[in-house]
């Protein structure tokens, strides 16, 4: 703005623009380029807008990496301090449930990618909503399994706190620390899943109103990035929590 | 526009298959006692899986250089967190008289 101003009025930026000049430029912009209703006025075109949204989402995901990163750091440190206790505690987790949930999340990532693709290729709103609903269903299955697992931990007095049963472990202090981290990490992950389901509900409603097509699908793309990120967190949580005690021997 | 790249469905199916194979492999390796190599194996597989998701499902493969830099910076900062903290904790007590 200031640059253009200076070009028109060399030597003085205090001089106001001529009225005729403004008339010549301002109305023409809108008449010559009727733009997409979803284009915000501060972007040049839909491509730039999509690029900015995607980049913004990635910046948010970087903060999410550091958010979960703190917990992974705590895990690394306490495992370094008490490796035997972590193996003993990990051996108690169900590899069947953990593996099943990993497959469910990977599958949901595929259906999410296909939901984004359906919007990208302007497929019918039925198809778009379908992929979104399948993804949500898989998310609910994941949370259901998590609920079963949590229930078992409460029943068996493995949850850290006053009801933690220290008598059945060889290294109770380290085991309790492992399960504190287990609940923090999987709990924060599950919270992200629940928020994700909320976002997907909104997405499904938008898609059912034929909002998304090849020209405008940024919300689907950005929600997809979030969903895939949550999947990535689980890709690391599964081996670190469930698989480190498989060859643990008492003694 | 880079974010507008439409990947073929077959690519997504291949990535999905690779992720499932990776998961099966991680579980299988966990039952074999490799000592410290168990951790190396399982984290290597996890990193490859994460990379597949980031590059293809999250479209970074077709993203701008700016996106690449932002994504890489996130993981780089994570490495700083891990390496700096562990360089402290892992070396405590190396010199007589310092805190263990």
- Residue A220, min C-alpha distance to chain B (Å): 12
B86 and B69 in a common domain: yes
Beta bridge partners of A216: A213
In a domain? residue B34: yes
Q: Mean pLDDT lowest for which of A13-27, A83-97, A237-251, B45-59?
A: A13-27
Place of tokens 């035997």: A84
The tokens for A36 are 């997409």
From B19, B20, B70, residue closest to A55, measured CB to CB: B70
From B1, B23, B70, residue closest to A102, measured CB to CB: B23
pTM value > 0.90: no
pLDDT in tens, A32-58: 556 788 888 888 888 888 899 999 999
Contact B10, B23 (CB under 8 A): no
Dihedral sign, Cα of residue A74, residue A81, residue B87, residue A230: negative
Substitution target in A47, A56, A57, A58 with the highest count of B β-carbons within 10 Å is A58
Determine the structural domain holding residue B85 and report its residue range.
64-94
Q: Residue B95's pLDDT is what?
A: 80
Contacts of B87 (CB under 8 A, 6+ apart): none
The tokens for B61 are 């493969």
* pLDDT band, residue A16 (cuts 50/70/90): low
pLDDT at A193 over 70: yes
Q: Residue A9's pLDDT is what?
A: 44
Query: Once rounded to an integer, what is the mean pLDDT over residues A72-97?
Result: 95
B57 and B74 in a common domain: no
In a domain? residue B100: no
Q: Mean pLDDT over all residues of chain A?
A: 88
B57 and B69 in a common domain: no
Length reported for chain A: 251
pLDDT at A118 over 70: yes
In a domain? residue B85: yes
pLDDT at A8 over 60: no
B47 and B11 in a common domain: yes
B77 and B48 in a common domain: no
Structural domains of chain A sorted by starting position, each given as residue range(s) with its CATH number in brackets: 1-34 (no CATH), 47-242 (1.20.120.80)
Q: Residue B91's pLDDT is what?
A: 87
Provide, as residue numbers in chain A, all residues whose Cβ is less than 8 Å from the Cβ of B66: 55
* pLDDT band, residue A234 (cuts 50/70/90): very high
pLDDT in tens, B66-89: 999 999 999 999 999 999 999 988
Q: Residue A41's pLDDT is what?
A: 82
* pLDDT band, residue B100 (cuts 50/70/90): low
pLDDT in tens, B35-52: 889 999 999 999 999 999
Q: Is B77 exposed, middle or buried (0-12, 13-18, 19+ CB in 10 A)?
A: middle
B57 and B24 in a common domain: yes
Q: Residue B2's pLDDT is what?
A: 41
B35 and B73 in a common domain: no
In a domain? residue B99: no
B83 and B44 in a common domain: no
In a domain? residue B55: yes
Q: Tell me which chain B residue has its CA closest to the CA of residue A243.
A: B30
B73 and B58 in a common domain: no
A102 in reach of chain B (CB within 8 A): yes
Question: A186 or A246, which is more confident?
Answer: A186
Q: Does residue A209 sit in helix, strand or coil?
A: coil
Q: Residue A249's pLDDT is what?
A: 54
- Residue A138, min C-alpha distance to chain B (Å): 15
Phi, psi (rounded to 5 degrees) for A213: -155, -175
- ipTM field: 0.93
B68 and B47 in a common domain: no
In a domain? residue B52: yes
Q: Return d(Cα B19, Cα B13) in angstroms, integer.
A: 10
B84 and B46 in a common domain: no
Count up the domains in chain B and report the number: 2
Q: Residue A2's pLDDT is what?
A: 44
Helix, strand, coil share (%) of chain A residues, nearest 5: 75, 0, 25
In a domain? residue B71: yes
B85 and B58 in a common domain: no
CB pairs under 8 A between A and B: 135
Query: Once rounded to an integer, what is the mean pLDDT over residues A141-148?
Result: 98
pLDDT at A24 over 80: no
Q: Return d(Cα A152, Cα A233) in angstroms, integer.
A: 23
Q: Of A48, A55, A213, A232, which Cα lies nearest the Cα of B6?
A: A213
In a domain? residue B83: yes
- Residue A232, min C-alpha distance to chain B (Å): 6
Q: Residue B96's pLDDT is what?
A: 77
pLDDT in tens, A149-176: 999 999 999 999 999 999 999 999 999 9
């Amino acid at each position: 703005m200031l640059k253009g101003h200076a070009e028109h009025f060399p030597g003085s930026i205090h001089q106001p623009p001529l009225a005729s000049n403004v008339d010549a430029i301002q109305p023409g912009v809108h008449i010559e380029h009727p733009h997409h209703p979803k284009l915000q006025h501060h972007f040049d075109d839909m491509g730039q807008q999509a690029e900015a949204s995607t980049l913004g989402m990635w910046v948010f995901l970087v903060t999410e990496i550091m958010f979960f990163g703190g917990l992974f750091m705590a895990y690394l440190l306490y495992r370094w301090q008490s490796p035997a206790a972590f193996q003993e505690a990990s051996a108690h987790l169900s590899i069947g449930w953990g593996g099943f949930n990993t497959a469910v999340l990977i599958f949901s990532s595929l259906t999410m990618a296909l939901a984004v693709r359906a919007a990208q290729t302007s497929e019918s709103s039925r198809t778009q909503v379908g992929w979104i609903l399948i993804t949500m269903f898989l998310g609910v299955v994941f949370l259901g399994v998590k609920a079963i697992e949590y229930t078992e931990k409460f029943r068996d007095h493995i949850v850290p706190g006053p009801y933690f049963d220290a008598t059945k472990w060889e290294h109770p202090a380290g085991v309790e620390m492992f399960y504190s981290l287990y609940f923090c990490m999987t709990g924060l992950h599950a919270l992200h899943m629940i928020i994700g389901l909320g976002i997907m509900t909104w997405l499904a409603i938008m898609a059912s109103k034929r909002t998304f097509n090849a020209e405008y699908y940024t919300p689907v793309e950005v929600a997809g990035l979030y969903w895939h990120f949550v999947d990535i967190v689980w890709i690391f949580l599964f081996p670190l929590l469930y698989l480190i005690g498989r060859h643990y021997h008492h003694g | 526009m880079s974010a507008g790249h439409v990947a073929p469905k077959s690519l997504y199916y291949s990535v999905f298959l690779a992720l499932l194979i990776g998961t099966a492999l991680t579980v299988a390796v966990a039952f074999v006692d490799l000592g410290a190599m168990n951790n190396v194996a399982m984290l290597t597989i996890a990193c490859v899986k994460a990379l597949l998701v980031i590059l293809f499902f999250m479209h970074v493969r077709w993203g701008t250089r700016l996106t690449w830099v932002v994504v890489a910076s996130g993981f780089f900062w994570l490495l700083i967190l891990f390496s700096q903290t562990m360089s402290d904790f892992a070396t405590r007590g190396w010199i007589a008289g310092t805190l263990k």
